[in-house]
């Protein structure tokens, strides 16, 4: 069977579906209502860091608790910016763009660790063989300093 390559939001959704596969009560089929009860966010954290969440103790009825748990652990233990509030998830149809933005930060936290951390590379120190060091921001561009894009790239997901 040929490999299918997804990019952008479809790749982000597919990644969420892949990482949460097999978790009780989690069914990722979109970037909105699938995330509402907070179980999918908790499942992703548990997938990569089972020491941080007791997933088996969670229920889909505890929307505020599940989301508060995921967002607070994400921020305090993993450095994921708190871009969502648990109250945002009480809507019947949570905001797709907000969830996509937050999920891209979660993706970057876990999958970005497989490559240089872009958050840390925004400010860099580079040593050269002559012993000199160049420090600066990725927004500075000159022939002697590397630049880092100021956006998150979701790598292609292959199935």
110's tokens: 């876990």
| Strand runs labelled E in 101-148 | 123-127, 133-137
Whole-angstrom Cα distance, residue 128 to residue 68? 45
Whole-angstrom Cα distance, residue 48 to residue 18? 13
pTM greater than 0.95 (yes/no): no
Closest CA to 108 of 95, 121, 123, 89: 121
CB 80 within 8 Å of CB 74: yes
50's tokens: 């089972």
Task: Determine what percent of the chain is predicted with pLDDT higher than 90.
Answer: 65
pLDDT tens for 42-64 read 999 999 999 999 999 999 999 99
Whole-angstrom Cα distance, residue 84 to residue 69? 12
Whole-angstrom Cα distance, residue 78 to residue 121? 17
Spell out the domains of the chain, with CATH numbers in brackets.
Answer: 5-114 (1.10.418.10), 118-154 (no CATH)
Band the pLDDT of 4: cuts 50, 70, 90. confident
Burial status of residue 148 (CB atoms within 10 A of its CB: 0-12, 13-18, 19 or more):
middle
Residue-averaged pLDDT of the chain: 79
- How many residues are recorded in the chain? 159
The least confident of 39-53, 86-100, 117-131 is 117-131
Residue 24 vs residue 130, higher pLDDT: 24
């Amino acid at each position: 069977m040929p490999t299918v390559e997804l990019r952008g939001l479809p790749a982000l959704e597919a990644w969420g579906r892949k990482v949460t596969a097999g978790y009780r009560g989690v069914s990722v089929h979109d970037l909105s209502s699938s995330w509402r009860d907070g179980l999918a966010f908790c499942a992703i954290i548990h997938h990569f860091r089972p020491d941080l969440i007791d997933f088996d103790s969670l229920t889909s009825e505890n929307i505020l608790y599940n989301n508060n748990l995921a967002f607070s652990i994400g921020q305090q233990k993993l450095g994921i910016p708190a871009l969502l509030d648990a109250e945002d998830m009480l809507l019947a149809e949570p905001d797709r763009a907000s969830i996509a933005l937050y999920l891209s930060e979660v993706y970057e936290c876990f999958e970005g660790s497989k490559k240089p951390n872009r958050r840390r590379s925004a400010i860099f120190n580079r040593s050269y063989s002559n012993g000199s060091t160049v420090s600066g921001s990725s927004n500075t561009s000159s022939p002697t300093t590397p630049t880092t894009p100021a956006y998150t790239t979701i790598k292609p997901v292959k199935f």
